[in-house]
Chains A and B, each alone.
Chain A
Amino acid sequence: KAGVTQTPRYLIKTRGQQVTLSCSPISGHRSVSWYQQTPGQGLQFLFEYFSETQRNKGNFPGRFSGRQFSNSRSEMNVSTLELGDSALYLCASSSGTALDEQYFGPGTRLTVT
């Protein structure tokens, strides 16, 4: 079974630009979660989608948004990039219940200059 894939793996953007990251979950998984990892703040939850509906959202500004498609693939978008948005963005998939573990992709390393 293929794992979680994320594209692109690396990205360099300039302040003020916007960026879209993509995540393909494990086949059969309907839940996709997004996390931001930085040295200063650690791992922080961004949002979770299940069957195309956002079920949960972390404490991030509205510049961070996401969506999920009918095939469970998910995208997250960051508009008006700031230097502080430089981070590793991780996507995770699961069946969607709190009892189940999440499987993480390799991440997208975003650098904002």
Chain B
Amino acid sequence: AQSVAQPEDQVNVAEGNPLTVKCTYSVSGNPYLFWYVQYPNRGLQFLLKYITGDNLVKGSYGFEAEFNKSQTSFHLKKPSALVSDSALYFCAVNTGFQKLVFGTGTRLLVSP
């Protein structure tokens, strides 16, 4: 079965510092990987995706993700965190016909 794993329930980082939210995947074939963010009482917002090509993917709000095939990882990164980045982050893989399988989510807390 195709899946993604987010090993950290919560990540704490100080404002201005770089942040990383981890995701590993288990996929047969080419992985279609996505990152979404969820703010309280809101739906999910798309951040970025990896389909093929460059291993470094740039997305919305200054986020980027690095696809690493040998380590089967797709970590989300941002060079300088903002307090407003505090939210719940989900990694997901498309397993076909728009079925997204999500990770368990990582809560990011950015302190002032």
Contacts and interface: CB of A to CB of B under 8 A. Distances in A.
A36 B98 CA distance: 15
Interface in B65-82: none
Interface of B: 32, 34, 36, 41-46, 49, 51, 90, 92, 94, 96-105
A101 B49 contact: yes
Given A4-B43, A102-B98, A102-B100, 7 more contacts: A42-B102, A45-B100, A90-B43, A92-B98, A99-B51, A104-B36, A107-B43
A101 B99 CA distance: 11
A50 B110 CA distance: 39
> Majority SS of interface residues in chain A?
strand
B99 A104 contact: no
Question: On chain A, which size bracket covers the interface?
Answer: 20 to 34
Contact of A94 (B42, B44, B98, B103): B98
A4 B43 CA distance: 10
A96 B105 CA distance: 24
A103 interface: yes
B97 A55 contact: yes
B44 A33 contact: no
